[in-house]
Every structure is written in structure tokens, then in C-alpha cells.
């Protein structure tokens, strides 16, 4: 199941991407328009800023804005930042690999074999979709 964090984060990103100008948008405005609890959104935008996807400006007239163009933001990045590993089991993860304690041989493991395929297919989708693709009508 997709976490609300990811869902809200994605919505916020699209809201920012749809702005005609790249000027700071307040958290409260995004929260209102996208029906997101403001405090929760605050923490999400903070992590998006820390990972370099968003910039922020403090004080009056401040807010968040996209640093890159929407077509330069692939979903692989967004999902990994917000949701974590794309793989459903650590033993097939590219960026967060971890061996299973219970599994003596990965190459004979049915779970491994299946989840490898699932990871690849998901990765393909996330790679070919940028933020720009998701806001295009």
C-alpha cells in the first residue's frame, strides 16, 4: 500500500509543477488545495527540500518551489525519497540490498525470482514517468 506520505508528497509536487511561475508557494496554500493536513505536509516538504527536489524561502512571501523542471524529475527519485526502496524485498533491492536470514540460496528462492520481475517492471514505469508526464492532460 502506498503511504499517505508519498501520496501527499506527489500531490504537492504536482501542485508546484502546475504553477505558472516558479515563485514560492506557502505550505498552507498547498495543504488547502490538496486536502492535506498542514503539519503533516510540512514535514514532507521538508524532506523533499533536504533531498534537493525543492527549494524554500523563509519569512513573508516565503514558501516552497521546484528547483528543477518537472521533466527533469523522474519518479524513481520521488518514490525512493518518499516511499523508500522500490523493491518489495531487500534481497532484490538495487539501492538497499540486504540478504534474507532465512534463505540459504537466493537463486533457488521463489520469492526472489518473482520479486525481481516485479521490481524490474515497477522500475520501468517509474523511470519513464517524470513529474511533467503526470501533469500533462
Partner DNA sequence: CTTTTACCCTATCGATTTTATAGAGTTAAC
Partner DNA sequence: GTTAACTCTATAAAATCGATAGGGTAAAAG
- Interface ranges with a second copy (CB under 8 A): 1-2, 7, 10-11, 13-14, 34-36, 75, 84, 88-89, 101-103, 108-111, 113-115, 117-118, 121-122, 124-126, 129, 131, 134-135, 137
Q: Does residue 5 touch DNA according to CB under 7 A?
A: yes
Whether 89 contacts 115, CB under 8 Å = yes
Residues 51-70 that bind DNA (CB under 7 A): 56-64
Name which of 70, 116, 73, 56 is nearest 92 in CA terms: 116
Q: Does residue 26 touch DNA according to CB under 7 A?
A: yes
Name which of 53, 99, 60 is nearest 79 in CA terms: 53
Closest approach of DNA to the CB of residue 128, in Å: 25
Which of the ranges 18-26, 85-93, 103-111, 112-120 carries the binding residues for DNA, by CB under 7 A?
Answer: 18-26
Q: Does residue 43 touch DNA according to CB under 7 A?
A: yes
- Name the binder of 117 from DNA, a second copy, none, CB < 5-8 A by kind: a second copy
Can you tell me the distance from the alpha carbon of 56 to that of 127, in angstroms, rounded to the nearest whole number?
Answer: 26
Residues that bind DNA (CB under 7 A): 3-5, 8, 24-28, 37-40, 42-43, 45-46, 49-50, 56-64
Amino acid at each position: 500500500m502506498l503511504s499517505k506520505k508519498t501520496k501527499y508528497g506527489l500531490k504537492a509536487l504536482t501542485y508546484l509543477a502546475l504553477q505558472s511561475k516558479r515563485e514560492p508557494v506557502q505550505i498552507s496554500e498547498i495543504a488547502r488545495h490538496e486536502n492535506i493536513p498542514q503539519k503533516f505536509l510540512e514535514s514532507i516538504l521538508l524532506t523533499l527540500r533536504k533531498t534537493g527536489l525543492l527549494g524554500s524561502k523563509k519569512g513573508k512571501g516565503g514558501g516552497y518551489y521546484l528547483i528543477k523542471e518537472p521533466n527533469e524529475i523522474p519518479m524513481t527519485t520521488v518514490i525512493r525519497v518518499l516511499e523508500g526502496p522500490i523493491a518489495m524485498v531487500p534481497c532484490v533491492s538495487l539501492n538497499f540490498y540486504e540478504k534474507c536470514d532465512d534463505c540459504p540460496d537466493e537463486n533457488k528462492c521463489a520469492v526472489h525470482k518473482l520479486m525481481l520481475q516485479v521490481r524490474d517492471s515497477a522500475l520501468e514505469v517509474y523511470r519513464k514517468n517524470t513529474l511533467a508526464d503526470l501533469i500533462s492532460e
